[in-house]
Amino acid sequence: MKRLLFSMVILGAVAMAQQSAQAGPSQPAAVRQPKLMNAKLQVVSGSAGLEKTVTDLAKSHAGAVWIGYTIPVEAKDRTMCCFDDWRQRSNNRCCFGCNLEKSNNNFFNGRVDNSTSSCENLEPADFAFVMLRSQDGVLTKARTFSRDCGLDAAGLNVYWIDNVNPVESIKYLTKLVQSETDGSHKKTVGGEAVYAIAIHNNPAADMALESLLAPTGPRRIREEVAIMLGSERGERGLAVLRKIVTSDSDEKFREEALVGFSQSGTDAGLRDLVDIGKTDPSSRVRGQAIFWLGQAGGRKEAQAISDAIDNDPETEVKKKAVFALSQMPESEGVPMLIHVAKTNKNPAVRREAVRWLGQTNDPRSLAFLEEILLGPKK
């Protein structure tokens, strides 16, 4: 009898182990799905390929349907979510979620201070979610969300595509961007897809973004790609930006693309802005580079701006550099503005410095303005 019981226990343990092994692979998939509410969820295979799967699902439904999948991203402390609703309204510190069908979500992309919030994440996730909306078979939205973002699907069907290959994802999203023909600055599927491509933790994203800088594309999309190259793609992104900013024939695009360097958050990006501010043949591009240096607001940047005021041959660039000084922290910018107002040989530049000093509340500015208006105190 004891042997029989022992054998039954062993057989039971083996069966449990087999069940656990069979369930194992599905557990990560469950974890790597968003927190969905009011959704008619169905998990489908992506074995036929992402583009075909999305197209077939979209065309098989009249009305609205959402289609989602998981992508690999760099594990860093970032929330991609909405702040329309709050898990704890009393402290307004933790993202609750997005209503997918709401048109005016207050979307947030940045860092949430988890140390003082009720957010559940203990460490950054190395994955995010792409959500595509189809209306009568036509894609109308492409949105990206982080793990901590709950999604309310408003009772709609949501198809979750399992095991999507990241390279296929990048290729498909790139086709969505390439099909973009709208040159306006309104939010479009193509513009939203650019961001989804950029955050993929896969080298194919670099090549895809570079291909989207082709001069034949809408300028708005090209500008968005330039920003993403700087903010999301590290040194490789900066290398692509350097090449395009110095060689592109569209001066307006080159001017707008400079924000990518400032968004990189690196010394290399700031050095690029310094070089462009000194050497670019276009006064508009030089002036814009100096403007973004002013937004960075450090002592090294202040020196580069000061050099532009002293040495650039164009008065308009000098005036833009003065404005850049006015955008810096007052501890850095005000003394330099006073110096320009006192010493610069160009009267238009001196007037510009005085004008911006008048916009500050710094007591040093007031004392200087009082002196030039009323004379030195006796």
Of 367, 364, 325, 371, the closest CA to residue 344 belongs to 325
Q: Delimit the domains of the chain by residue range.
A: 31-164, 172-265, 293-378
Residue with tokens 């599927």: 189
Residue with tokens 């501010």: 277
Of 159, 156, 88, 148, the closest CA to residue 121 belongs to 148
- The pLDDT value recorded for residue 366 is 78
Cα–Cα distance between 295 and 335 in angstroms, integer? 17
Q: Exposed/middle/buried for 228, CB within 10 Å: 0-12, 13-18, 19+?
A: buried
Q: Strands 127-135 and 138-145: what pairing?
A: antiparallel
Cα–Cα distance between 73 and 41 in angstroms, integer? 24
Would you give the end-to-end CA distance of the chain in angstroms? 113
Neighbouring CB atoms inside 10 A of 122's CB total: 6
Q: With beta carbons less than 8 A apart as the criterion, state whether 232 and 262 touch.
A: no
What is the pLDDT tens value at each position of the chain, 378 positions in all? 434 333 433 334 334 333 333 333 333 444 689 989 999 999 999 999 999 999 999 999 889 999 999 999 998 888 898 875 544 333 444 556 899 998 766 777 877 655 444 455 557 889 999 999 999 999 999 999 999 888 999 999 999 999 999 999 999 999 999 988 765 556 789 989 999 999 999 999 999 999 999 998 899 999 999 999 999 999 999 999 999 998 999 999 999 999 999 999 888 999 999 999 999 999 999 999 998 988 876 667 788 888 898 889 899 998 999 988 888 887 778 888 889 989 889 999 899 988 888 888 788 887 888 887 666 665
Cα–Cα distance between 231 and 265 in angstroms, integer? 7
The helix-helix angle for 330-343 and 363-374 (nearest 10°) equals: 20
Cα–Cα distance between 138 and 298 in angstroms, integer? 48
Alpha-helical runs (H) found in the chain? 2-23, 26-31, 50-59, 166-178, 189-198, 204-211, 219-232, 234-247, 251-257, 259-263, 267-279, 283-296, 299-311, 315-326, 330-343, 347-357, 363-374
3-state DSSP assignment of residue 349:
helix
